[in-house]
Amino acid sequence: MTRPTRVVQYGVGPIGSAIVKLLSVKRGVKIAGAIDVDKEKVGKDLGDVAGAPKPLGIRISSDADEVLSKAKAEVVLHSTTSYLKEVSTQILKCVKAKSNVISTCEELAYPFETNKKIALQLDRFAKRNGVTVLGTGVNPGFVMDTLPIALTGACQNVTRISVSRIVDASKRRLPLQRKIGAGLSLEEFQRPVKERKVRHVGLEESIRMIASALGWKLDRVEETVEPVIAEADVQNLFLKVAKGKVAGVKQVGRGIVQSREAITLDLQMYVGAKEPRDSVVIEGVPPIDMTIRGGIHGDLATAAIAVNSIPKVLKAKPGLLTMKDLPVLSAIP
């Protein structure tokens, strides 16, 4: 019998809660603490807040330093926000406590160019403390970067990579449907786009991770966000989108190499999407044309990938790593 791995959950929002529920049924893991600043959650049992089948005997605390120093966790699972500037202090606290960190912060998936200064600081500090920091999740972290990279492993050469992720938002909760603008008029949709509120975070990080894996030097990365217009009335449990109104969003990231669009990531999330799927098309020798029917379920897979990273992160060398640096993940028992 090996000693269970001690884990702290940092952030008990939707993703953090999904991670906690999964951790609570995995062998070889012991939850040793939980951190969240939400006054509604502090002092309550982690299992109750996360929606686990039973209480876990862990009180959520807003005092990160205390939790981290008491828990002496081998790994902190970190899920607070998407932006690295907002979370770097949180991650540094974990590193200072000599805990490895697995974070679903989207901008941490491949931060070496988009947030270079913070990335270097995290890398240095992680190495000095002998721990590993990893940014991961389903997207960024898997569908639009690690999986296409892994497929290029079977190629003698690659000239172009296109990835599409098409998600039917109909079955998702109302807040998400609202977030992608479902039901808005075209005019109403302009404001959240301008305020970058409908934007998925991580497309640029995925493009830069792919380019780095292939040794491609990017001229630049471009990104566009456009509405998807309903071609017919769409009704679901939560709302109705009339024909001609906004059904959701299409966000495209383009990686330009030597003045050529060498990487295209096309993310569509809208109500009534007919053939939800993830697809990767590699132009190269040999060419590869892959499709995952229905697409990989986002929330379930992000929690899975974070938890499945634990054994690989425990064995990894210290520093700030990305998914392309780790051995292939697998579902842990």
Query: Applying CB under 8 A, which residues contact its own copies?
Result: 22, 138, 142-143, 146-147, 149-158, 213-216, 284-294, 296-297, 300-301, 303-305, 307-308, 323-333
Which of 156/259 has CB closer to its own copies? 156
Phi, psi (degrees; rounded to nearest 5) at 276 = -60, 140
CB of 333 to its own copies, least distance (A): 4
Nearest residue (CB) to its own copies, 64 versus 265: 265
CA distances from 248 to 197, 200, 214, 239, 244 (A): 13, 12, 32, 12, 12
Q: In angstroms, what is the minimal distance from the CB of 142 to its own copies?
A: 6
Beta bridge partners of 134: 102, 321
| CA 126/CA 327 separation, integer angstroms | 19
Task: Name the minimum Å distance from CB 328 to its own copies.
Answer: 4
Strand order in the sheet with 132-135: 60-61, 29-35, 5-10, 75-78, 100-103, 132-135, 319-321
Query: Which residue number, 154 or 186, has a Cβ lying nearer to its own copies?
Result: 154
Please, what is the minimum distance in Å from the beta carbon of residue 248 to its own copies? Answer: 21
Q: How far is the CB of 74 from its own copies (least distance, A)?
A: 19
Residue 286 φ then ψ, to 5° = -75, 160
Q: N- to C-terminal Cα distance for the chain?
A: 15
Closer of 201 and 288 to its own copies (Cβ): 288
Q: Which is nearer to its own copies, 61 or 206 (CB)?
A: 206
Joined tokens for residue 191: 């404001």
CB of 323 to its own copies, least distance (A): 8
Residue whose tokens read 């970190």: 78
Nearer to its own copies, 6 or 324 (CB): 324
Nearest one of 317, 154, 301, 151 to 326, comparing CA atoms: 317
| Least gap, CB of 37 to its own copies (angstroms) | 27
Write the CA distances from 331 to 28, 79, 296, 309, integer angstroms.
Answer: 14, 20, 14, 9
Between CA 324 and CA 142 the distance in angstroms is 10
CB of 16 to its own copies, least distance (A): 15
Shorter beta-carbon distance to its own copies: residue 154 or 232: 154
CB-count exposure of residue 313 (10 Å: 0-12, 13-18, 19+): buried
Q: Which two tokens stand for residue 157?
A: 């050469």
Instruction: Closer to its own copies by CB, 44 or 208: give it.
Output: 208
Task: Tally the residues of the chain.
Answer: 333
